A and B are shown apart, each in its own frame.
Chain A
Amino acid sequence: MDPDHLGYLIDRYLTALVLYARQWCNAPEDVAQEAFIKLAQQAEPPMHPVAWLYRVVRNGAISQARSERRRTNHEGRVAADARLWFTPSEEVFGLDAQAATDALQRLPLELREIIVAHLWGGLTFEQIADLTGGSSATCWRRYAAGLKMLRQEMGLPCPNAKTT
């Protein structure tokens, strides 16, 4: 793979991939790094490198989560969960990073991974469906349901809700 293209992918998608891997494991940086190294080792670069990277990160994170489950204790898991997933926003009207992290952590995994892959990874619903093994319509439904739950969890009012 072209080093410039690899550098661009690292700059653009490394943090999003780490956030995606964080859904499953406590060392997402290692998983993302391994994914980029595997991408560089490919003799023939994949047609959609971003979707390919997400697939490799997902498989690696699930596999690492299995091995972590055997050796980490409860305190380590709590400490990893308490870590912030987002940089605190400096905007006045921006969402609270801590609240967003907590709300995302409380979401079911199948809804959360679709939201993270679509919003911060930029994957289309078709690509997410290939990744998770379902149809794009199902992914869309889960995405909408996840956003609704997330908004409720964060205590934000619905803009179209009628006030009495």
Chain B
Amino acid sequence: MPEREDDLTPPPNLEAFAQQLKQLTPQHVQLSRDALLFAAGQAAAAPKTSPWLWPSLTGLFAAICLVLTGFLITPSPTPLIQYVDRERIVYVERSEAEAPAVVVAPPLSTQEMISHEDEESQQLAEQLRLRREVLRWGVDMLPKATPPRVRPKTVSDGELAQWLNVPLGMFSTHRPITPKKTSPKPPEDE
């Protein structure tokens, strides 16, 4: 056994025999070198993907196409129209004495709904007519709008003191303004 593992030479008495054995040539192989190289090149150029990948993908997409075509050909059923009464919520101005109440109006009947829609359509037609008139004749044709008359509100001293959070009576007292007395001019030295 050698001391080091990389010093693995056979014992000297076997070295000559090993060399003699090495002189023996292995039997010739019945393989064509060119054929082997050709087969190796063919294998190297072959695609790496598995052979069933593309056929299975093609089949899958064909099946999807068939299903979608079936959906396209099949006539769709006529849509069912169903009328449903809807609840109308009416908000009533509350009075001081009463608690806020929401009155739920009874559901509109079909006749009421039709009349309500008629009113809306009439308003819409009126708006459209007015817009057409304005576009045609200009804004001068519109009636003059009278601004609402607003009465100016007077603020009392008490309210002002309350807003500013100052003691009462601050703005009610008037201190008479006394004119400043001018000192007499000293006589000029002549």
**B39 to A, closest residue via Cβ:** A37
User: Given that A94-B24, A151-B17, A159-B16 are contacting pairs, would A136 and B8 also be in contact in the complex, using a CB cutoff of 8 Å?
Assistant: yes
Interface pair B40/A120, CB less than 8 Å apart: no
Q: Mark A139-153, 1 if CB is under 8 A from B, else 0.
A: 111011001101100
Interface pair A119/B22, CB less than 8 Å apart: yes
A-B contact count (CB 8 A): 119
How far, in whole Å, are A100 and B25 apart by their CA atoms in the complex?
11
Interface pair B14/A147, CB less than 8 Å apart: yes
* Supplied contacts A19-B27, A95-B23, A119-B22, 6 more A-B pairs, CB within 8 Å: A32-B29, A39-B40, A41-B40, A87-B28, A140-B2, A147-B10
Kindly specify which of B30-38, B63-71, B80-88, B170-178 makes contact with the partner chain. Answer: B30-38
Q: List 15 A-B contacts (CB under 8 A).
A: A7-B37, A14-B33, A29-B31, A36-B36, A37-B36, A37-B39, A40-B40, A40-B43, A87-B24, A94-B24, A100-B24, A120-B26, A147-B10, A159-B13, A159-B16
| In the assembled complex, A59 has its CB within 8 A of some CB on chain B | no
Interface positions of A (Cβ within 8 A of B)? 1, 3, 6-7, 10-11, 14-16, 18-19, 29, 32-33, 36-41, 43, 83-87, 89, 91, 94-95, 97, 100, 115, 119-120, 124-126, 135-137, 139-141, 143-144, 147-148, 150-151, 156, 158-160
- How far apart are A131's CB and chain B's nearest CB, in angstroms? 15
Interface positions of B (Cβ within 8 A of A)? 1-2, 5, 8, 10-11, 13-14, 16-18, 20-31, 33, 36-37, 39-41, 43-44, 46, 48
Interface pair A94/B39, CB less than 8 Å apart: no
Interface pair A15/B14, CB less than 8 Å apart: no
Interface pair A15/B29, CB less than 8 Å apart: yes
How far, in whole Å, are A91 and B28 apart by their CA atoms in the complex?
18
How far, in whole Å, are A98 and B10 apart by their CA atoms in the complex?
24
Chain B residues within an 8 Å CB radius of A124: 8
Interface pair A7/B33, CB less than 8 Å apart: yes
Chain B residues within an 8 Å CB radius of A84: 27
Interface pair B36/A10, CB less than 8 Å apart: yes
Chain A residues within an 8 Å CB radius of B30: 29
Closest 5 A/B residue pairs (Cβ): A40-B40, A19-B26, A15-B26, A86-B24, A40-B44
Interface pair A89/B23, CB less than 8 Å apart: yes
Chain B residues within an 8 Å CB radius of A41: 40, 43-44, 46
- How far apart are A133's CB and chain B's nearest CB, in angstroms? 16
How far, in whole Å, are A6 and B40 apart by their CA atoms in the complex?
9
How far, in whole Å, are A33 and B32 apart by their CA atoms in the complex?
10
- How far apart are A136's CB and chain B's nearest CB, in angstroms? 5
How far, in whole Å, are A164 and B48 apart by their CA atoms in the complex?
69
- How far apart are A38's CB and chain B's nearest CB, in angstroms? 8
User: Given that A16-B26, A87-B27 are contacting pairs, would A158 and B44 also be in contact in the complex, using a CB cutoff of 8 Å?
Assistant: no
Interface pair A1/B44, CB less than 8 Å apart: yes
Interface pair B14/A6, CB less than 8 Å apart: no
Interface pair A15/B22, CB less than 8 Å apart: no
Chain A residues within an 8 Å CB radius of B26: 15-16, 18-19, 85-87, 120
**B10 to A, closest residue via Cβ:** A144
